[in-house]
Amino acid sequence: MSKSINMKETKDIILHTAYSMFLNNNYEAVTINSIIKAAGITKGGIYHYYASKEELFKAVVDNLLIENRTSIHIEYSSLKEFIDNSINKAKEKIHLKSNSNDIDLSSPAQHTSLFMAAFKYYPNFSEIGRKFYNEELSIWVEAIELAKKNGEVSNKVNSEIMAMNFMAIGTSIVTNTILGGSIDYALEMHSKQLLELYQSIKV
């Protein structure tokens, strides 16, 4: 095995170990020494790639959160189809492990906590989060505008406000898992809430 492959494997081990520790512990509780111990590498091995915990945390967010963010592109010809496909996409995302990085997405509450840490400790992460939000918002608005044009929903609907309402329902997945519900129950409630809101604006 070549040296370059060994170096890549070492870097991947560091990243995945740090990811797991940041995911399961508060940012403040994770130390370089605890990552070294968990990863089974030397101090020199980790400092060869990352000069500090802050730099390593940024690499975790860059490589294992931002780059692995699931595409929000959804095929649809009606708002109902858009909602059905978004529900299926959410289920796939939650139960999926990234083939490239083996990132477990089955704990939305923990991932939300990790994202909140990113807002605090990752420079300018609020701009990235705002970009993600606006991208998704524009897609929902476009789907609602098409539904209004096709007579599927009332023209009185404020597309942007309604898009925000649909998006807000996504947080129910996190809420229900935090409150002790199973992930399957959380997904079921997420689906029901989206479809109930749709029925309220359907012509």
What one-character-per-residue DSSP string does the chain give?
A: --HHHHHHHHHHHHHHHHHHHHHHS-GGG--HHHHHHHHT--HHHHHTT-SSHHHHHHHHIIIIIITTPPP-----SSHHHHHHHHHHHHHHHHH-B-TTT--B-S-HHHHHHHHHHHHHHSTTHHHHHHHHHHHHHHHHHHHHHHHHHTTSB-TTS-HHHHHHHHHHHTHHHHHHHHTT--HHHHHHHHHHHHHHHHHHHB-
For the segment 190-202, the average pLDDT, to the nearest whole number, is 95
List pLDDT tens digits, range 62-93.
Answer: 887 777 665 567 789 999 999 999 888 878 77
List pLDDT tens digits, range 89-142.
Answer: 878 776 654 344 445 555 666 777 788 899 999 988 999 889 989 999 999 999
Question: What's the whole-model pTM score?
Answer: 0.76
